[in-house]
Amino acid sequence: MQTFKKGEKIGKYVIHSFIKKGAVAESYTVLGPDDMMYFMKVYDFRSIPREQLFEGKEVYEIQLCKELNREENANVVRYVDNGEVKKGNASYHYLVTEFYRGVLLTEAINQDGRFDLEDAVQITLCVLSGLSFIHSCALIHNDIHPSNIILQELEDGMLMPTIIDLGHISYMVKGRPTFPVEDLMPFFRAPETFRSVYTVKSDIFSTGALLYYLIFGKSPWEVDLGNKVSDKQALKLAIRKARSHKLVLETEEVKIPDYMKAILQKALALKPDDRFASAAEFAQALLQQLMPQLVEENLEQPTADSSEDQENNGPIITFKKGSGSGFDNVTGRDELKEQLRKEVLFALHNPEKAKLYRLPAINGVLLYGPPGCGKSLVLSSFAEELGFHYTIIRGPEMGHIYQEGVLDNLQRVFDAAEIKAPFVICIDELEFLAPNPNAEGEENVTPQISALYGMMNECSKKGILVVATTNRPDLIDQSIMRIGCFDRVFFVPQPDFEARKDIFMDHLKDRPCEELDFDELAKMSDDFNAGDITEAVNEAAMTAAYNDVPISQKILIDVLKYKNPTYSTKTRIGFNKN
């Protein structure tokens, strides 16, 4: 039975219609003071278990929805408002989000049947874009399934998928969920969630199940559960039994290519380590096979003031305009920043003086160092600092030059850069894009590497600067590792004291914490890279959440005491400066 009737007022909103009653909340459509329709969830504060309250004061969904919507993403529901209202002796908290007019994916399947492969991939890519945004905020969705995705019809007739329900959103969970689990869709749940483990990779599994559903019109490993849904143990055993059988990837009605079978098998791997590592990697696997021309569009989302699309006959490239103050984003690393200013930026910012002193032109800059040392951040910050137009190409996602179409796409990038010059082409993880095909590392110039060399050699004459990063300089084809292509090479060390301190502060902000001594944390994490620090903070957060206490200095120190850096100064083989 619904608590509020049509016409009743909750805060500044008027109830329009009742939608449904869920495990912990009732849903309504409401009219706002602007006479616009909104979606509202109302929570009876008395009935919500303590573990579903943030610091015992706020419903987790409301708190995390506010955190998530500090920025907007077209594929994730938009937060509008929240508040508290009393009725009788009861206190109710409410959450208001944007109302979307459209059709749920479940309804679309029921009405029109399964989607064709291209449409299924397009929808999944949008969902992955929303998930990638959620994960970038250190949050997990935990409940991706067709009834939580709505298709809105845009003015041009295109359908925009949006994740509309954040009722199970959380930080990473291991042990005790901060959300109800009774209403989770069993066939969309990753195996580890039945052990109360919820991570980025469990979201990947659910999205793989969504893609499977769109293509086949039913869930993967779907069987009749009968009355087992209400019995947790029986449900778990039934799902496990169903998944012990081979996943059906072809039926009389549905035939899909081998690469799609491989993608589905990887996304739906029963072991988390066998799945895609991230939503971006999942999306890239789809893009590279089906729509390689959209790679750049999906890797770098355009900003409102700096994106321009190229002609339709080439890859869609995202251009950005550097702000001129990118190094503000890089804490510490003063020696490296000064080197870059002196040896690269100065001549580019002062062309007349460079001409007067006959300073040599700079075609390329290579940043190298161990994984996790912040090369990608330095790369993008360098481009921002320079102030030119730039684009970022990520090697593992663009593909390598021996794959069909990659060289053509690169040539279009260079052609577009010449038009927009001065321009910086940033290549992250160059060893993936231009690998050395020779096992012993000897030079053997291939037609592909010759073509890439032709693009890069003396590209400064066209107003183009190439800046690249690599974990392994020895794995790059040596034909382009020469003056004329890369004129400057810089070692990017592990984060220094100030950088480590800043990383701790960044990852601990907006989490429930006691007063922390960041100087002590930075000292204890000597030789840690950014990934090591992130992992340490997440472990500390998990411990604090499990014990229902704020993150304390002691918890963090206990984690750091037993944690070893991934690449220590004693074992950092192959990454020495000299």
- What pLDDT was estimated at residue 100? 84
What is the tens place of the pLDDT at every residue in 292-319? Answer: 444 444 444 433 333 333 333 333 445 6
CATH architecture designation of domain 9-98: 2-Layer Sandwich (3.30)
- Residue pLDDT, tens place only, 230-274: 788 898 999 999 999 999 999 999 999 888 999 999 999 999 999
Per-residue tokens: 504? 């701790």
**CATH says 297-491 is which class?**
alpha beta
Whether the pLDDT of residue 532 is over 90: the answer is no
pLDDT for the residue 299? 40
As assigned by CATH, the class of the 497-562 domain is mainly alpha
**Phi-psi region at 55: left, alpha or beta (left = phi > 0; alpha = psi -120 to 50):** left
Averaged pLDDT for residues 505-514: 90
> Is residue 141 very low, low, confident or very high in pLDDT (cuts 50, 70, 90)?
very high
Task: Answer with the residue of higher pLDDT: 275 or 404.
Answer: 275
Domains in the chain: boundaries: 9-98, 102-290, 297-491, 497-562
Q: How many Cβ atoms are within 10 Å of 185's Cβ, its own excluded?
A: 15
Architecture of the domain spanning 102-290: Orthogonal Bundle (1.10)
The Cβ-side half-sphere exposure at 571, using a 13 Å CA radius, reads 7
β 9-10/53-54 pair status = unpaired
Q: What one-character-per-residue DSSP string does 147-181 give?
A: GGEEEEEPTTS-EEEEE---TT-BS-EESS-SS--
Q: How confident is the model at residue 166, as a pLDDT?
A: 87
On the question of pLDDT at 218 being above 60, the answer is yes
The closest of 186, 252, 184, 183 to 217, measured between CA atoms, is 252
Answer positive or negative: Cα dihedral of 520, 526, 528, 532.
negative
What sign for the dihedral angle of Cα 169, 268, 186, 100? positive
Per DSSP, the chain holds a count of helices (H) and strands (E) of 20, 19
Instruction: Name the helix (H) or strand (E) containing 85.
Output: strand 79-87
For residue range 16-40, what is the model confidence (pLDDT) as tens digits? Answer: 999 888 777 899 999 999 989 999 9
Q: Are strands 423-428 and 464-470 parallel, antiparallel or unpaired?
A: parallel
Tokens encoding 335: 């020696």
What's this model's pTM, rounded to 2 decimal places? 0.52
User: What is the rounded distance in angstroms from the CA atom of residue 189 to the CA atom of residue 206?
Assistant: 6
